[in-house]
Copies of this chain bind each other. A is one copy, B any other.
């Protein structure tokens, strides 16, 4: 009953970590099976192909992230500027741990597959952009409150925030470690603070 469903879930969770460690192409189906404690027969019962697993894993990763962020404390912050800064602070705090566990599966996948496995690249890319749009919505609220006349778009800022986070992961993998990544998020936070001057009682900053 839930046993069957459990194998599928175990395979997906295994994929999350194995793909982030070895990348898509270099991961063997049996690597995922071993990590999940399941055999190949079971794997191909649940997924038609390795590619299908990757698409499903991107989906699952995205759902995990949505759940995590939906329940995070920063969500309840009333002031939109502080809420946006709270998001960045959370992303910074999430940098604690080994790289394959803290980095983003979607960024890894899209980079490796965008030209050669369109289905995977598209799935991963869409989830990245969707998440960027959610952040963009927060940015829109903050912009409306702090810098309504500014000549940048909130959606663009949401994408920029995602880019900095993805870039921080690459920097960490390049040898900078999570410290360098954290420093990047500090710069990002500082940028947002400068870009969104806090509203003082009844006053609003211009662009």
Residues B129 and A176 in contact, CB atoms below 8 Å apart: yes
C-alpha gap A175/B187 in the complex (Å): 25
Binds B, one of A49-57, A69-77, A88-96, A105-113: A105-113
Interchain nearest-CB distance for A72 vs B (Å): 22
Give the size range of A's interface with the partner.
35 or more
In the complex where A167-B165, A167-B168 touch, is A110 in contact with B173 (Cβ < 8 A)?
Answer: yes
In this assembly, does A152 line the interface, its C-beta being within 8 Å of a C-beta of chain B?
A: yes
Partner of A115, one of B22, B112, B190: B22
Residues A159 and B183 in contact, CB atoms below 8 Å apart: yes
Residues of A157-189 at the interface with B, using a CB-CB cut-off of 8 Å, are 157, 159-160, 162-171, 173-176, 180-181, 183-184, 186-187
Partner of A122, one of B116, B122, B175, B184: B175
Complex A-B: 13 CB contacts under 8 Å: A23-B23, A23-B111, A23-B112, A26-B112, A107-B111, A111-B169, A128-B175, A152-B186, A156-B180, A163-B167, A163-B171, A191-B194, A191-B195
Interface residues of A (CB under 8 A from B): 21-23, 25-26, 99-100, 106-108, 110-116, 121-122, 124-126, 128-129, 132, 152, 156-157, 159-160, 162-171, 173-176, 180-181, 183-184, 186-187, 190-191, 194-195
Identify 15 new A-B residue pairs, CB closer than 8 A, beyond the known A126-B174, A129-B176: A21-B115, A23-B25, A23-B113, A26-B116, A107-B170, A125-B175, A152-B187, A152-B190, A156-B180, A156-B187, A159-B171, A160-B164, A162-B171, A163-B164, A166-B170
